[in-house]
Amino acid sequence: MISKDFLKDNIKTLIYALIIAIFIRSIFIQPFYIPSSSMEPTLLMGDRLFVTKFSYGYSKHSFPFSPPILKSRIFNRIPKRGDVIVFKTPADNRTDYIKRLIGLPGDTVQFLDGDIYLNNNQILKTIKKKDDKLFCGNKIINVNTYIEKLPNDKTYKASYRTDVSFYNSDKFLVPENHYFFLGDNRDCSKDSRYLSEVGYVHRDNLVGKAQILFFSSDRKKGSIFNIIKWNEILRFDRFFKKIK
């Protein structure tokens, strides 16, 4: 027969473990899973990564279920252009998105002839690979992949469809305390270009900075529980890879 003291001690242990886990997840680091292809080729569907919660300070969205315990951001730190960031979408303040930061408060962003202009200056890009192939949902699309360079010398890969691309846009003026994000898979990403769905993201909606991949699997090739096919399913070359 199990004694009451035994049950009591185990319940206490579980409660303490839960509190510690919530504390670590809220204050320090949180794992995230990539369910879409909007950040290819940087992040692939099936990637699992760690996000540091302390990188930009804390808001109510730093905590599970976004409890209204903070009215604004505390210990605020300004993110850098080119950072890959997890944020809550302004549409519902609940859904997690991950995109690359392009525009800071006061910046202008515009697409002209398929190129990005930041504050009226073209973001430099050099071809990395022509006729590349990426996922867009369950479809495979043909893209050209470039290395883009931001004014702070941050470089990263970005891909554009070879057939129909996001070619021209109005000029976006980033409001005070807001940020402008783009997906690296430029023609397969709902991001700040779509004002009714994402739009400008308030600084309080920032969750954290994506830092490192710790695991990656290709679910299209099978379940990770199928051990004999691990050489096909697991992307070992992506384990513990720093996110650029």
Residues labelled as active-site residues: 38, 99
**What ranges make up the beta strands (E) of 89-234?**
96-103, 108-112, 115-118, 121-122, 124-136, 139-149, 155-161, 172-173, 178-182, 201-202, 206-216
The single-letter DSSP state of residue 74 is B
Nearest to 111, CA basis, from 223, 217, 228, 194 = 194
- Exposed, middle or buried: residue 136 (CB in 10 Å: 0-12, 13-18, 19+)? middle
List phi, psi (to 5°) of 152: -90, 15
Beta bridge partners of 155: 149
- Calpha distance 82→118 (Å, rounded): 12
What spatial distance separates the first Cα and last Cα of the chain, rounded to whole Å? Answer: 56
